[in-house]
Amino acid sequence: MQIIPVASGKGGVGKSLVAANLAIALGKAGKKVIIADLDLGASNLHLVLGQQAPKAGLGTYLSGGIDFSAIILDTNYENVQFIPGDAEIPGLTAMKISQKNDIIKKLQNLDTDFLIVDLGAGTHTSILDFFLLSPQGIIVTSPTVTATLDAYLFLKNAVFRLMYNSFKKNSKAYKFLESLKSDAHSLQRIYIPKLIDTLMQVDPQSTEVFRRRIARFKPRLILNMIDDPKDADKAQKIRRSCTEYLGLELEHLGIIYRDSLQDIALASRLPIVIYKPNAMLSQAIFRISEKIAFSETIRFDSDGNYDSFQYAESEAQEDFENKMTYIEELLGTGALTMNELAETIKTQQYEISQLKKENALLKTKIVKALSQGFTL
């Protein structure tokens, strides 16, 4: 199975339209496709696909109300199935880390040729982690200055996320990265190739893991909503910036011209490749899908420094920080009193403490089992 996360640095660049039409084009080519709506704050992929509003989706599953298999829905299109999101369920965008990991595991175990994952816009850590499910994610952008800059910044954040995930928390490389956070100005101007050289001197073993991973990281670019042929040069500028500043080889899948037929197709609740398969936009989608269909599936290596105990503790802290941001918003609107805030903080601190104790107990049991001859 080839996993294809589809992301964008900002909204309004046609990401979901590209994802939906690519899924249908691959299905028409005889490939089994599942497309999942993980734009959890604004789940509307069913509209782009021309499907009825689903009665259940990822939010229902995460709430414990349904089995995961029950939200894999058939569509009106050959070889294409659909996993809907749930924009109407509050708080889904700030899902717990355990929920995110559960979804990742379920997605990785799907039986299909291609899994297309339509992600939300921006650089939230959950979006980056879903994007890094595969070295072959697609970044969709338009030729505007802000959109191309945001596309580059998304890829920069993805590279840093990949770097952090490659280092153990207490390694010298990890601590060096943490020290850079105190100098935001230098961090903004840093060249990843130079940073790798420095990290090789600080912690060569950890850095070598990252070097192997980034060598396999081959994100793909689609430049959408072009009006002028000169706009196509913007893709090359993004590509050069990624090579020079990020040490990243970007594959350019193609360009898609703006087509007024897209709006008509959307109003008709039909994907453009179905509404007008001979339209210029549709033909561009078919060309891109053909490149994807015949591409080799690449995976990140599996020799990284994943430590589930360390990861769980850091995730608990991340959950706490996310909830605190949400609480600050509630305080600002007057929806939460100071007494309620104090009680919430106590509850969160207790949850983190309990998780640390559970991790320590589990780790002790594993060490004991290994000493008795059991293998992992």
Residue 299 lies in a domain: no
| Count of H-run helices and E-run strands, the chain | 16, 8
- 264 with 363, same domain: the answer is no
CA distance between the termini of the chain? 26
Residue 41 lies in a domain: yes
- 200 with 321, same domain: the answer is no
- 312 with 289, same domain: the answer is no
Residue range of the domain that includes 191:
2-293
How many percent of the chain have pLDDT more than 90? 40
- 253 with 178, same domain: the answer is yes
Residue 341 lies in a domain: yes
Distance CA 300, CA 321 (A): 29
Residue 298 lies in a domain: no
CATH number of the domain to which 227 belongs: 3.40.50.300
For the chain, the domain total comes to 2
- 344 with 214, same domain: the answer is no
pLDDT at residue 80, rounded to an integer: 95
Distance CA 272, CA 375 (A): 53
Name the pairing type of β-strands 114-119 and 73-74.
Answer: unpaired
Distance CA 65, CA 163 (A): 36
- 92 with 189, same domain: the answer is yes
How many percent of the chain have pLDDT more than 70? 78
Say yes or no to pLDDT of 309 above 50.
Answer: no
Q: What is the DSSP letter of 3?
A: E
Q: What is the DSSP letter of 275?
A: H
Say yes or no to pLDDT of 306 above 60.
Answer: no
Judged by phi (left if over 0) then psi (alpha if -120 to 50, else beta), residue 269 lies in left
pLDDT at residue 348, rounded to an integer: 64
Distance CA 322, CA 328 (A): 10
pLDDT in tens, 243-298: 999 999 899 999 998 888 888 888 888 898 898 999 889 999 999 999 999 998 98
- 285 with 314, same domain: the answer is no
- 243 with 364, same domain: the answer is no
pLDDT at residue 313, rounded to an integer: 47
Say yes or no to pLDDT of 352 above 70.
Answer: no
Residue 256: CA count within 13 A, CB half-sphere? 34
Phi, psi (degrees; rounded to nearest 5) at 7: -130, 170
Residue 301 lies in a domain: no
pLDDT at residue 33, rounded to an integer: 97
Cα–Cα nearest to 276, from 291, 289, 262: 262
For residues 124-128, give the mean pLDDT: 88
- Residue where one domain finishes, among candidates 269, 293, 317: 293
Residue 376 lies in a domain: no
Question: Concatenated DSSP letters for 33-85?
Answer: EEEEEE-TTS--HHHHHTPPPPS--HHHHHTTSS-GGGG-EE-SSTTEEEE--
74's tokens: 């058939």
- Residue where one domain finishes, among candidates 293, 322, 357: 293
Distance CA 27, CA 34 (A): 9
Residue 286 lies in a domain: yes
pLDDT in tens, 197-242: 999 999 999 999 999 999 999 999 999 998 888 888 888 899 999 9
- 316 with 268, same domain: the answer is no
Query: What's the pLDDT band for 95 if we cut at 50, 70, 90?
Result: confident
Tracing tokens 């939300």 back to the chain, one arrives at 120
Say yes or no to pLDDT of 311 above 60.
Answer: no
R_g (Cα) of the chain, nearest Å: 22
Measured on CA atoms in the order 42, 104, 151, 21, is the torsion positive or negative?
A: negative
- 163 with 125, same domain: the answer is yes
- 221 with 354, same domain: the answer is no
- 227 with 95, same domain: the answer is yes
pLDDT at residue 178, rounded to an integer: 84
pLDDT at residue 218, rounded to an integer: 93
Residue 66 lies in a domain: yes
- Residue where one domain finishes, among candidates 227, 261, 293: 293
Q: Which residue has the higher pLDDT, 196 or 339?
A: 196
